[in-house]
Amino acid sequence: MKGLALILTIAALALAQKPLHRGDVTFSADRQDINGSVTHLAGDVTIETDSMRLRADSADYNHDTQEIVAQGAVRVKLK
């Protein structure tokens, strides 16, 4: 039973870190929730476009306004 719980936990973590594509923006994080037009990301966040890569502890991306509110250790690299 413990082995099955471990396998399910690993599978859940792998799915949570799968990149999400919305338009020209790619998201990757330990946890992702979409609430209307806002994607909430937490844990090892990466938001990437053709022109930049943002890394942060957590971030909210508004698809309507294309604004990012990032928290924690935030780093942005222009491409």
pLDDT at 7: 44
| pLDDT tens for each residue of 15-73 | 445 555 656 889 899 999 999 999 999 999 999 988 999 999 999 999 889 899 999 99
pLDDT at 63: 87
Buried/exposed 20-38: b ≥16 CB within 10 Å, e otherwise: eeeeebebbbeebeeeeee
Strand 25-28 relative to strand 38-48, pairing: antiparallel
Give the phi and the psi of residue 9 in degrees, each rounded to 5.
-65, -45
CB under 8 A, 24+ apart: contacts of 2-11:
none
pLDDT at 57: 97
Q: Considering Cα of 53, then 54, then 59, then 65, what sign does the dihedral take?
A: negative
